[in-house]
Amino acid sequence: MAPVPESSAEAHQATICVVEGDARERDALVQLLSHLQHDVDAFDSAEALLAAIDEKQAQVLVTGLELPGMNGIELLRELRKQGRQVPTIVLAGESDVATAVDAIRAGAMDFIQKPVIERIVLRRVRDALAQPVA
Protein backbone atom coordinates (compact mmCIF):
# COMPACT_ATOMS: atom_id res chain seq x y z
CA MET A 1 0.00 0.00 0.00
CA ALA A 2 1.16 3.55 -0.70
CA PRO A 3 2.47 5.56 2.26
CA VAL A 4 0.59 8.62 3.43
CA PRO A 5 2.25 11.93 2.63
CA GLU A 6 3.73 13.67 5.67
CA SER A 7 1.59 16.72 4.91
CA SER A 8 -1.60 14.83 5.71
CA ALA A 9 -3.67 15.85 8.72
CA GLU A 10 -2.80 12.60 10.46
CA ALA A 11 0.76 11.36 10.92
CA HIS A 12 -0.35 7.83 10.03
CA GLN A 13 -2.89 6.20 7.79
CA ALA A 14 -5.69 4.20 9.30
CA THR A 15 -5.20 0.47 9.30
CA ILE A 16 -8.09 -1.90 8.87
CA CYS A 17 -7.42 -5.21 10.59
CA VAL A 18 -9.17 -8.34 9.36
CA VAL A 19 -9.38 -11.49 11.49
CA GLU A 20 -10.80 -14.49 9.65
CA GLY A 21 -9.88 -18.14 10.04
CA ASP A 22 -10.91 -19.16 6.54
CA ALA A 23 -8.11 -18.18 4.12
CA ARG A 24 -10.43 -17.71 1.16
CA GLU A 25 -12.81 -15.45 3.09
CA ARG A 26 -9.88 -13.56 4.62
CA ASP A 27 -8.34 -12.91 1.19
CA ALA A 28 -11.71 -11.79 -0.20
CA LEU A 29 -12.16 -9.34 2.68
CA VAL A 30 -8.66 -7.93 2.23
CA GLN A 31 -9.28 -7.45 -1.48
CA LEU A 32 -12.66 -5.81 -0.84
CA LEU A 33 -11.41 -3.49 1.90
CA SER A 34 -8.32 -2.46 -0.05
CA HIS A 35 -10.72 -0.47 -2.26
CA LEU A 36 -11.05 1.98 0.64
CA GLN A 37 -7.39 2.98 0.09
CA HIS A 38 -6.25 2.22 3.62
CA ASP A 39 -3.72 -0.31 4.80
CA VAL A 40 -5.36 -3.68 5.42
CA ASP A 41 -3.63 -6.23 7.67
CA ALA A 42 -4.99 -9.77 7.89
CA PHE A 43 -4.75 -12.33 10.67
CA ASP A 44 -5.87 -15.95 10.77
CA SER A 45 -6.81 -15.93 14.46
CA ALA A 46 -7.64 -13.64 17.34
CA GLU A 47 -4.43 -14.69 19.04
CA ALA A 48 -2.38 -13.61 16.00
CA LEU A 49 -4.00 -10.17 16.09
CA LEU A 50 -3.45 -9.82 19.83
CA ALA A 51 0.24 -10.72 19.42
CA ALA A 52 0.67 -7.94 16.84
CA ILE A 53 -1.73 -5.25 18.06
CA ASP A 54 0.91 -3.24 19.93
CA GLU A 55 2.69 -2.60 16.64
CA LYS A 56 -0.51 -1.75 14.77
CA GLN A 57 -2.51 1.44 14.67
CA ALA A 58 -5.78 -0.40 14.12
CA GLN A 59 -8.58 2.03 13.45
CA VAL A 60 -11.15 -0.58 12.43
CA LEU A 61 -11.41 -4.28 13.08
CA VAL A 62 -13.43 -6.67 10.93
CA THR A 63 -13.58 -10.10 12.52
CA GLY A 64 -15.31 -13.34 11.91
CA LEU A 65 -17.32 -14.77 14.76
CA GLU A 66 -16.14 -18.32 14.25
CA LEU A 67 -12.35 -18.39 14.56
CA PRO A 68 -9.82 -21.03 15.50
CA GLY A 69 -9.10 -20.69 19.23
CA MET A 70 -10.64 -17.55 20.67
CA ASN A 71 -13.86 -16.53 18.86
CA GLY A 72 -14.76 -13.02 17.72
CA ILE A 73 -16.74 -12.14 20.85
CA GLU A 74 -13.92 -13.37 23.10
CA LEU A 75 -11.53 -11.22 21.05
CA LEU A 76 -13.70 -8.16 21.68
CA ARG A 77 -13.79 -8.90 25.41
CA GLU A 78 -10.00 -9.27 25.50
CA LEU A 79 -9.48 -5.99 23.63
CA ARG A 80 -11.82 -4.25 26.07
CA LYS A 81 -9.96 -5.85 29.01
CA GLN A 82 -6.73 -4.40 27.59
CA GLY A 83 -8.37 -0.97 27.34
CA ARG A 84 -8.40 -0.96 23.53
CA GLN A 85 -11.40 0.66 21.88
CA VAL A 86 -11.39 -0.30 18.21
CA PRO A 87 -14.60 0.06 16.19
CA THR A 88 -15.38 -3.56 15.32
CA ILE A 89 -17.63 -5.24 12.82
CA VAL A 90 -18.40 -8.90 13.46
CA LEU A 91 -19.22 -11.18 10.53
CA ALA A 92 -21.09 -14.38 11.39
CA GLY A 93 -22.18 -17.48 9.55
CA GLU A 94 -24.77 -19.35 11.55
CA SER A 95 -25.89 -17.28 14.51
CA ASP A 96 -28.94 -16.08 16.35
CA VAL A 97 -30.21 -12.89 17.93
CA ALA A 98 -28.63 -13.78 21.30
CA THR A 99 -25.21 -14.07 19.63
CA ALA A 100 -25.66 -10.70 17.92
CA VAL A 101 -26.62 -9.12 21.25
CA ASP A 102 -23.56 -10.70 22.91
CA ALA A 103 -21.34 -9.22 20.19
CA ILE A 104 -22.81 -5.74 20.63
CA ARG A 105 -22.50 -5.97 24.42
CA ALA A 106 -18.87 -7.04 24.00
CA GLY A 107 -18.22 -3.84 22.04
CA ALA A 108 -19.03 -4.56 18.38
CA MET A 109 -20.40 -1.57 16.51
CA ASP A 110 -22.08 -3.86 13.99
CA PHE A 111 -22.97 -7.50 13.38
CA ILE A 112 -23.37 -8.70 9.79
CA GLN A 113 -24.71 -12.09 8.79
CA LYS A 114 -22.79 -14.08 6.15
CA PRO A 115 -22.83 -14.31 3.25
CA VAL A 116 -21.98 -10.63 3.36
CA ILE A 117 -23.14 -8.06 0.86
CA GLU A 118 -20.01 -6.22 -0.17
CA ARG A 119 -21.50 -2.74 -0.38
CA ILE A 120 -22.88 -3.06 3.16
CA VAL A 121 -19.50 -4.11 4.55
CA LEU A 122 -17.82 -1.23 2.74
CA ARG A 123 -20.38 1.26 4.04
CA ARG A 124 -20.03 0.02 7.63
CA VAL A 125 -16.23 0.14 7.49
CA ARG A 126 -16.38 3.69 6.04
CA ASP A 127 -18.66 4.65 8.93
CA ALA A 128 -16.18 3.15 11.40
CA LEU A 129 -13.28 4.98 9.77
CA ALA A 130 -15.18 8.25 10.15
CA GLN A 131 -15.37 7.81 13.93
CA PRO A 132 -12.86 9.78 15.96
CA VAL A 133 -9.93 7.69 17.23
CA ALA A 134 -10.27 7.03 20.96
15-129: CATH number = 3.40.50.2300
Distance from C-alpha of 57 to C-alpha of 27, rounded to nearest angstrom: 21
**Among candidates 98, 91, 94, which has minimal Cα distance to 76?**
91
Q: Which residues lie below 8 Å from residue 119, measured CB to CB, with a gap of 6+?
A: none
Q: What pLDDT does 113 receive? A: 93
Domain ranges of the chain: 15-129
Q: What pLDDT does 134 receive? A: 57
Q: At what angle do helices 72-81 and 97-106 cross, to 10 degrees?
A: 20
Q: Which residues lie below 8 Å from residue 57, measured CB to CB, with a gap of 6+?
A: 12, 14, 15
User: What number of helices (H) and strands (E) belong to the chain?
Assistant: 5, 5
10-residue mean pLDDT series, the chain (134 residues): 35 78 96 95 96 83 96 96 93 92 96 93 94 68
